[in-house]
Structures are given as structure tokens and as C-alpha cells.
Structure 1
Amino acid sequence: MNNHYRYIVLGNGNAGFIAAKSIRETDPEGSILIISEEAELTYSRPMLTKTPLRTYDHRKTILYPESWYREARIDVLLNTAVERLDTDSKTVRCGGQEFRYDKCIYALGASNFIPPIKGSDRKEVTSIRTFDDIYSLKRMSVDAENAVVIGGGVIGLETAAELTKYGIQVVVLEALPVLMPRLLDEDTANTLQNTIQSFEIYTNVAVQEIAGDGRVERVVLADGREFPADFVVVSTGVRANTGIAAEAGIECGRAVIIDEFARTSAPDVYACGDCCEYNGANYALWSQATEQGIAAGKNAAGDRVSMGVIDSSMTLNTDEISIFATGDTGKNPELVYETEITDNMHPEHYGVNPKYLQSYEKRFYVDGKLVGATIIGNLTRAQGLKEEILGINREGVSK
């Protein structure tokens, strides 16, 4: 392995992989090294909670085989954490080695945020970020009778729905007054909560302790209520991994700050994915990683490409409900929204809920233009609405 590369990519999540792939598409000859602390090549994180738990096999979710990297002449260094980035000497230190770069892609992703709850460090408490987390959850779910999920976002609800399939009694605890308030309007959030019957959901609650004698036995709320638990899943969002960048003097806010070309404040250093923010926004979504990865890779290789529109839509499919949200669902207090509600019947089926022929659709308009929408039930119209709204977002209507 060389110690000098034309391009060094830090991180092999979707953003880092897409950046490396885009570099190779733009520069067929430049040497590329990907450095990652993970043990495997890039795999699909969304599939962590969209694949049946008991049959999950991370090898089936790896995006490209090892042979692809060989043919693309991309070197990969796994099981190796980045220790230091020096933007003056243009070097990266990791695993006792030092590599020089001409261009660097910072794609170190994010880490799960674990609230400072007493008992959150117990071994029966997990969160979901890597395939190892799913294997841990699989082990804990065997013979378990009760589980608590802290956090009522998409990952939390998908996890809860999956656990109930194995006879586990699940309780979801959400600190906010409604589920997913950044994505859903209050009416849709309430409908979501009321529709789910396979597990209990409690909103507007504060978790005080994860308690037990030797092992997890219960979750205690600040108001004194207790819920039995053999294990706990914490799903309360992520925090960008900015430490290496900040130590290197790269400008950071809540995440590494980039411009429309995925450039950071440091010369020849680009960033993409969950670790960075553009115009103050970091959606931590697969689509963000893809668009920013393309821009970072192509621009590092000498192209001039601005980031594409980021699709911030959300889809949740369980055996009980299908729900979709996209765009601005009435969240900007400075705008005046008009809403339109329709009940639609569709002959087509969609996703995991073929029983749903009917959909409840709520659309949000600003100055007569569609800026956001939610659908409950049949999601046949989801793609069309998303494309229309993304087109409007390109013109800045809902920004």
C-alpha cells in the first residue's frame, strides 16, 4: 500500500463510497484510498431496520463486492480509525501509519446520541447504527418478553414493529408531544400514533432511569411510571463526527460546514454525508449522503458540480400502517400555508401493505404552489408528489 494518494476518503459509509466512486468516474487514473474503522465494505444502513431481524445478514446488504474495488483500483483500509488530519502537511494518521494526500474527502459520518440517562451504559441497552448493533439486538431478543424503545422516530418505530413479531411486548417512549414533529403535522402524527395497536406509545415523557438488579429490568419515568424491560433500544438521533475536523482547524457548527460544492474551509478538503451541514441543515439521510458524495468526489477530481436537491422525504412501512411525508409540511412559522385533504382509492398496491387501496392525503401550499405533503395508507402517489415538490424546492419556494 502506498503512503501517498491522489485522493484519500475518510469513512466508508454511503457518502464516502459515493465520493470514491465519483472520483473514479471523473479521474480514471488517480490513486484512491478509503480509510474506515468499520470491519466491512460499504453496506446499506437503511436495511438495518428494514430487514427481518431474525434473518438479517449484513453480507447481503454490502453494496459492491471486493472485486469491484479491485477493478476500480480503489484501496481500502478497514478496521482502522482516523487519528489525525493535518491540513497543512496534507497528511492523515491512522493505525500507526501516515498517508499523504492531494485531495481529502471527510466522510466520517455520525454517531448515535445517547441521552444522559442513568443506567444507559448497561449491556442490555443498545442503539442501532451498525450491523453489529443488529446482531446484538438479535441476541437480546431471544427469549425476551418485554422491551422498551426510547425514541419515536422512523428507526424506533420500525424496530418496535419488528420486535412485536416475535411475541415481545414493546413500549415506545417519546420525549416530544407528538411523533416525528419535524416531519409530520400534528394531525398526521396523531393518526399515526392512534393507528398503531401492536405496541404502546407514550409521548411527552421523560425517562429518568434504566433500572434493574444486575441487569435491565425496567425503565422508570420522571413521573414515577415504570415499564418492564429485558432490554432497551435507544433511538434518539445522531450527532455529527466533527472531532477530527475541528482539531484540524476546519470550520464546524453542529457539523462540518460545506458550501454548495462540498468544500470545507480547508484547502483541498471536501466533506459529505452525516458529518456535514450545508446552509445550517444536516438531514442525516441516505439521499443527502448520495448527493453530497457525488459533489465532493467530482469536485475533488477537478469537476465543478453543485449539490443536487436533497430528498428529505420519509417513508414508514409496518404491518399496521404505511405513511409518507415530503417537503415542508407547515413547519415554517414565517409562511402562510393552505392545506387540501383528499381520500383516494387506488387499484394499485404499494409496498408491504397490499391491503391498502385507500389513502388519506394532505397537501400543503404556499402562494398556490405545492410545498409539502403527507400520505397515510396507499402510497401510490408518493413518488409523483415528491418529484413535484422537489421541483418547487429547486426554485426555493419552501426554503
Structure 2
Amino acid sequence: MTTSPHRIAVIGGGVAAHTLVKAYGTVSAAADASDEASETMIDIFTAEPHAPYRRPEVNKGILLKGKTPADIALPGAPLEAPGVTLHLSTPVTHVDADAHTLTAGGTTYQWDQLVIATGAGPRLLDPTQNTWLNGRDVHYIRTPEHSTALRARLEELGADDTVVVVGGGVLGLEAASAAATIGAAPVHVLEMADEVCSRMLPPAASQWLRERHGENKVSVTCGLDADALAAEIDRLDPAVIVVSVGAVRDTMLAEDAGIAVGAGPGGGVIVDPAGRTSAPDVWAAGDCVEVHGELDGVEVTVRPEDEGSARALGTIVGRQLGAGNTAEAGSYLEEQRRGWTNQYGLMLNTVGEAGLVEGRREQVELSSPEELVVYSVAPAADGSGDVVVGVTTVGRSPEVRAAKGALGTVLAA
């Protein structure tokens, strides 16, 4: 016998949503022959007009290489499975966690389980506080439309023009790399922190990236306060400004529904390591979340912001839903964190906790214009030496490939 149809609603059409639907299908297929099996209807709501795509490719594919949204789309098979409906250009405007309903496109939908995968958007600067924005051609990057418009603009510029990128994080540096590759205009990166990518990378890797940009005629200036930043923009008088100063997690629907959200401007929808929110039958995954849990006996809070994390937590949530919330589907905090960026044809990869915080140090194993190996290390709990907690690499030589497996290795004191 079968039970009544089970309805799952997913808000968001990115990597997390796509991955959880795929994982759900894999797990639930094993239960199809069971007497407990039930028909499941999955509704995916996205405000965008595109089918799910790889968010990193907005920079790496569309901006740099001129690809289209179709070129960077995720495989369609999971979305074409029986019972799955993708609602494009259909933003959700309200969630009632108590009544188990949501409103989208003027229609109310009932759900048994809800997944919030609303992602994040670029942090927008206030032009009243940043007057250098006024009257200028300013671009933010998040969607395919953003990158398509910026690429077209960069192609128009000549050597007498100037491009300024405000923000020296990964996305800002990728935009600078693309601008230097696409057009003839000089490119300047302006960063308020003391180094580029300082949260993601150890100092030696940040310096390595700066050197690669310098070799490609991109000027990078760090350590600017607000006044110095404004003065530098006035001096450069850029034809185009690209602003990349972080992301804001989209928590509005969760907050309005009374679901717990982290404090501060970077706060996300609070979930446990399995993706459960504070509301029954409501889950969350992707860039919109912050994960609270215990790791090695210590309470931690992690705010993911990469494709690998979206895949990892999306998979965990999908497995939970596919097994009726009974399976040991895994813990996000036990997943290895991975990141990557491609600039000037060189792929920089990170695994683990590559950025340095108090108590950690870096150990440079290899550094050249084409290759890099940097370990981020912390004292081993038993005092036997330092343990590798993060690895940053560039290149494909045997030495580099071997170094990628060093995570967790104890280095002799």
C-alpha cells in the first residue's frame, strides 16, 4: 500500500537545491519497493529565470570566457524526475512555518517538509556614505545577467580608460583577472584589509596571488581606510567600478517566519550539522545558512560561502528527507572544506582550514610563479608537533599532488 502524497518545497534554485533533490532521489529509490513508500511531490521555487547553475561559473565562465547560462547549467536529470516541478521566475513572498504553507506567484502551496536554500547576494554599498559611487558606472556580480553586462562593458574600454575593483577577496580578484584578460584598460584593485583574500588564505598564498596580478599589469593596493579609498578612486577616475565587498545571506523569509537567524550582518539561517532549523520540518542549506554544532568537543559556528559546502549540506539534507528523517546522513562539520579560484589560467585550491587565525601558522613547502604549496598548521593536541589543518596548492606536479593529501598529518616538532 502507499500513503498519501508527501510534499517537499524547496525555496531557491542553486547548487544546494539541485544537490538535495539529486540526493533525495538516490536515497528514496531504495525505499520504492517498501510498503511504507509514498508518492512524493517536490516543488522548487526560484526567482531567477534560469534552471539551476553553478554559481562560481558566473565569474569563471560567463565573465571570463563569455559562456551563457545554458553553458553553466547543472545536469537536468534530477529536476526531470517524476514528481519534481521547477518553478522559474517565481519568488516566494511568504512562509508560514506553523501552517506549513508558502506563497509564491500569488498562489498558496502546502508542504510537509520545507528547505530554505535562498543563497546570498552581494553586499551593496550605500551611496550616501560612499559618495564616490555617485555618477559612476558601478557593477556588482552575482547573476549571469550581471556578468554578461560587465563583460560587454569591459570589451568596450580602451587603453585610456581605467577599471577599479573595490574588494580584494576571491571574487574581486577573479573580476580583476577577467578585466585584465578581456579588455585593454588598466586595472586597479583597492582593498581595505592589509592583504588580499586574508580570510581564505594564509599570507604566503595571498602574496603569491598579488604577485601574479602584478605580472599581468594589475595594480593591487591594500590597507586603505574609507577616506584613502575615496581619494584613490577620485584620482584614478575609473570608467568602470566593480564592487566585490562580501555577501549578505538571504534570511528574510526565515526571519519573517520566526525561524532562528544568526546575529550581525553576516548572520545566516541557523542550522545544526544535519541542516535542521529551529522550526519543525524546516531545513536549510547553501550560502544562506550558518552551522552550529560541536567539533572535537568544541562548540563552533561555521558560515559557509562556497560551492563545496552547498553540495555537502544539500546532500545531507536530501538524504535525511529521502529516508524519512531517520538516516544517519552525515554531519556537515565532518566534511572537508574545499575552495578554488582560477586566475590567469592558474588554479589555486584549498582544503581544510587554510586561512590563519590565532594559534595557527603557515609553512611554505614550495613557491614559484607556476606552483605553490602552503600548509596551515596548528599545535597537535598531544604536543607531538604541529598538525596540518589546511593546505593551499597551485600546480599539478607530483610534489603538489602529494601535498594535497597532507591534511591531518602531524609534523615533527
Q: Into which bin does the TM-score normalised by the smaller protein fall?
A: 0.7 to 0.9
Q: 1:127 to 1:100 in 2, by over 3 A?
A: same
Q: CA deviation at 1:318?
A: 2.4
2:235 aligns with: 226
Post-superposition CA distance 1:365-394 (Å, at most 9, x none): 4223221233355576556544542x679x
What is the aligned counterpart of 1:307 among 314, 331, 336? 331
Q: Map of 1:177-256 to 2, 5 A cutoff?
A: 177-197=194-214, 198-207=217-226, 221-222=230-231, 226-253=235-262, 254-256=267-269
One-letter identity of the residue aligned with 2:330: S
Residue 15 in structure 1 maps to residue 16 in structure 2: yes
Quick check: 1:138 aligned with 2:166?
Answer: no
Amino acid at match of 1:184: L
> Does residue 1:375 correspond to 2:393, yes or no?
yes
* Aligned equivalent of 1:6: 7
- Change in Cα spacing, 1:322 to 1:79, as seen in structure 2 (3 Å) is closer
| Structure 2 counterpart of 1:285 | 306
Would you say the 8 A contact 2:202–2:374 is kept in 1?
no
Check whether the contact 1:31–1:73 (CA below 8 A) recurs between aligned residues. Answer: yes
Partner of residue 366, structure 2: 343
Instruction: Write the letter of the residue equivalent to 2:219.
Output: E
Distance 1:121 1:266, change over 3 A: farther
TM superposition shift of 1:261: 1.5
* Distance of 1:320 and 1:196 partners within structure 2: 12
1:64 pairs, out of 55, 62, 75, with: 75
Match of residue 397 from structure 1: none
How many equivalent residue pairs? 366
Taking the aligned partners of 2:233 and 2:90, their CA distance within structure 1 comes to 44
Q: CA deviation at 1:136?
A: 1.2
The verdict on how the C-alpha distance between 1:120 and 1:365 changes in structure 2, with shifts beyond 3 A counting, is same
Distance 2:256 2:189 in 1: 38
Cα deviation for residue 324 of structure 1 reads 3.7
Once residues 329 and 107 of structure 1 are traced to their aligned partners in structure 2, the CA distance between those partners, rounded to angstroms, is: 26
Q: Partner residue of 1:349?
A: none
Return 200-209 or 261-270, whichever deviates more.
Answer: 200-209
Contact conserved, 2:189 with 2:219, CA < 8 A, in 1?
yes
Shift in CA distance, 55/96, structure 1 to aligned 2, threshold 3 Å: same
In 2, Cα distance between equivalents of 1:336 and 1:141: 40
The one-character-per-residue Cα deviations of 1:17-59 (angstroms, maximum 9, x if unpaired) are 1122222223353111000101011011111222263622111
Given that 2:177 and 2:213 are in contact with CA atoms closer than 8 Å, whether structure 1 keeps it comes out as no
CA 289–359 in structure 1, closer or farther in 2 if over 3 Å, else same: closer
Choose which of 127, 130, 153 in structure 1 pairs with 2:169: 153
Instruction: Tell me the CA shift for residue 150 of structure 1.
Output: 0.8
Question: Structure 1's 151 and 236: CA in aligned 2 closer, same or farther, altered over 3 A?
Answer: same
Residue number in structure 2 paired with 1:50: 60
Contact 2:308/2:339 (CA < 8 Å) preserved in 1?
Answer: no
Q: 2 CA distance for matches of 1:82 and 1:208?
A: 40
Q: Aligned AA for 2:173?
A: L
C-alpha distance 171-320 of structure 1, shift in aligned 2 (>3 A) = farther
Instruction: Provide structure 2 residue ranges, at least 5 long, that are not aligned to the other structure.
Output: 30-38, 293-300
* Residues 246, 381 of structure 1: alpha-carbon distance in 2 compared, 3 angstrom cutoff: farther
Q: What's the TM-score, normalizing by structure 2?
A: 0.80
Taking only aligned residues, the RMSD between alpha carbons, in angstroms, comes to 2.8
> Which of residues 176, 180, 184 is equivalent to 2:193?
176
The worse-fitting range, judged by mean Cα deviation, of 361-370 and 379-388 is: 379-388
Contact kept? 1:14, 1:43, Cα under 8 Å: yes
| Residue identity (%) | 25
What is the TM-score with the length of structure 1 in the denominator? Answer: 0.83
The amino acid of 2:312's aligned partner reads E
- Residue 236 of structure 1 deviates from its aligned partner by 1.0
Residue ranges of structure 1 left out of the alignment (5+ in a row): 210-219, 346-354, 394-399
Aligned to 2:295: none
After TM superposition, give the deviation of residue 246 of structure 1 in Å.
Answer: 0.6
